[in-house]
Amino acid sequence: MTTNQLEEKLKNTPFLFRPQLTIPKNINFGLEIELEDIDFDIVESKVKKQFGESFKVKTDKSLRRDHNAEIVTPVLRNTKETWIMLKKLTKLIQVLQPHFDNCSFQINYDANLLPTIEDKVRFLKLFAVYEDIIYRFSKGEDEHYRDSIDEYASPIILQLKGYMNIADDRTMVEMFTHHKRYGINFKRNPKELIEFRTPNGTHNIVLWQNYITTFYYLLKLAANPKFSRRELDEYINKFCNTYLLEIYEIEDIEKAQKLSDMLFHNSLDKRYFMKQYIGLNK
């Protein structure tokens, strides 16, 4: 199938909210939604009134503008009730009309999805190899990287390549632990979590669903011991580009489809991933 044929097929795929995702119901996740050019007190009041004390609202030092807020959800699961609630949250955010120029949409999963150090290293390498696809997929509906991406959601491949030559697996994982600079962050306090930090924020519920689905299946793939690290190592060791974001702008349909086929069994998940990657999610 040519790129034009694929785009025509994807254009005919409606980009719709789903009442439930394909990920298991017992998977815990939590969201952090950054907002700018917003009145903190109004955000806090409206969120608490509509969703209760289990939702937290705080300011975030990573946001460059003074008027900002970050909404932190409680632990969530893939249930119809969760998605009814999150759909209401996105409608509230739309009414508040924030900006997302310096923002990120962040998803936290339980670290037990990657139970061993070897799993975590395999995941870091898998993320790095497909980082160009993931970043282009994660730019949000305005096709824009956050202005502070180098400080708070930076690509990892060059750092990982450097660590691979001097560090053992455990040390390599430590380099990406409690470090908000990168698009991936392993957390330990108060609970072990794996945080994905997208390079742009959004209030689009369908993009939220696609992020949650894609990143869960990326973790699942990395946790498979049959997935070879040798191919990943070869790619990373040969990688020598420095202008990463400019390179990540270039479409690589074949590589994106390869990742999609590895991640998803569900055909709608595949179509939504490719539609968002190509930029047909407007």
pLDDT tens by residue, 30-59: 999 999 999 999 999 999 999 999 999 999
% the chain with pLDDT above 70: 96
Rounded average pLDDT over 102-129: 95
Rounded average pLDDT over 51-80: 91
pTM of the model: 0.94
- SS3 for the chain is CCHHHHHHHHHCCCCCCCCCCCCCCCCCEEEEEEEECCCHHHHHHHHHHHHCCCCEEECCCCCCCCCEEEEECCCECCCHHHHHHHHHHHHHHHHHCCECCCCCEEEEEEHHHCCCHHHHHHHHHHHHHCHHHHHHHCCCCCCCCCCCHHHHCECCHHHHHHHHCCCCHHHHHHCCECCCCECEEEECCCCCEEEEECCCCCCCHHHHHHHHHHHHHHHHHHCCCCCCCHHHHHHHHHCCCCCHHHHHCCCCHHHHHHHHHHHCCCHHHHHHHHHHHHCCCC
Rounded average pLDDT over 131-153: 81
What rounded mean pLDDT belongs to the chain? Answer: 92
pLDDT at 97: 93
Over residues 157-198, the pLDDT tens digits come to 999 999 998 999 999 999 999 988 899 999 997 889 999 999
Is the pLDDT assigned to residue 216 strictly greater than 80? Answer: yes
Is the pLDDT assigned to residue 280 strictly greater than 80? Answer: no
